[in-house]
Amino acid sequence: MFLELAALCSEGTTLTTALKQTAIANGYESVPPEWANNTMPLIQAANQMCWNRSP
């Protein structure tokens, strides 16, 4: 899942959109509640990856 988010992030997609697209791609109708509990560390990690990919 994290790699999917990173790929979307590298394409300039916002993390919120990336989370929703990743959820849908994994068969969910929306972002699952259990993901919400992990969102803060996920956002921090994804933001770190996005910054690292910036020129």
For residue 54, how many other CB atoms are within 10 A of its CB? 7
pLDDT tens, per residue, the chain with 55 residues:
566 666 666 666 677 777 788 888 889 888 887 776 666 676 677 666 666 555 5
pLDDT for 20 equals 82
Domain tally for the chain? 1
pLDDT for 24 equals 87
Which structural domain range is residue 9 located in?
2-53
CA of residue 32 relative to chain centroid, distance = 13
pLDDT for 18 equals 77
Residues 29, 26: Cα–Cα separation, whole Å: 9
Q: How much is the pTM? A: 0.47
